[in-house]
Amino acid sequence: MKKLFPVLSLLTICVVMTGLLAFVYGITKEPIEKQLNTKFDKSCQELMQDASHFTLISENIYSATNENDDLIGYIFITITPGYREEIKVMTGILTNGSVSGVSVLESNETPGLGKNCEEPWFENRFITDKKVSEFVVNGNNLKNDKVSVDAITGATISSSAVTSAVNEAIVLFNNLK
């Protein structure tokens, strides 16, 4: 019986702690989901300021409509490998093929270098007022509708990763039509 007491004590503690953890999870699950949805909606709104509603049309692709339910464009979420880990990018493309905005949602790049890909001054390099077929990092003598994007000094891999994610969104956009 003495040998059984520590085992039963530990088992009781584990059961109680598991119950408490499940209880706390149940309480916090909804507010956390609400906060994530609010952050997502805010990011979408920043990329497509004229849109009032975003609808999931397929995995990681959202349509953006205005108050009159007119289609304004699409939001794409793409993931590409960066220097350290994957970089998750949200790209807004208007119906005319121009890029309305780019937002790096998640990255774990080197602080002070690749992490700068999350800064608005870098993200804004992708905004265009005409249709783009491809962005090229540090491109020269580009023809047609290709656009050069200056890489972040010391963070070419991170810059190229974000550029690849935006280019992937452009391909997805072209496949929708």
3-state secondary structure of 20: helix
pLDDT for res 177 = 67
pLDDT digits (tens, 9 = 90+) for 109-165: 777 777 777 788 888 888 888 888 778 777 666 677 777 777 777 777 888 888 999
pTM of the model: 0.74
pLDDT digits (tens, 9 = 90+) for 26-60: 888 888 887 877 777 788 888 998 898 898 999 99
pLDDT for res 74 = 95
Q: Is the dihedral of CA 47, 53, 57, 63 positive or negative?
A: negative
Residue-range domain boundaries for the chain:
53-176
- How far from the centroid of its chain's Cα atoms is residue 92's Cα? 11
Between CA 131 and CA 135 the distance in angstroms is 11
Look up residue 132 and give its amino acid.
V
Between CA 119 and CA 113 the distance in angstroms is 11
pLDDT for res 167 = 93
Between CA 79 and CA 161 the distance in angstroms is 9
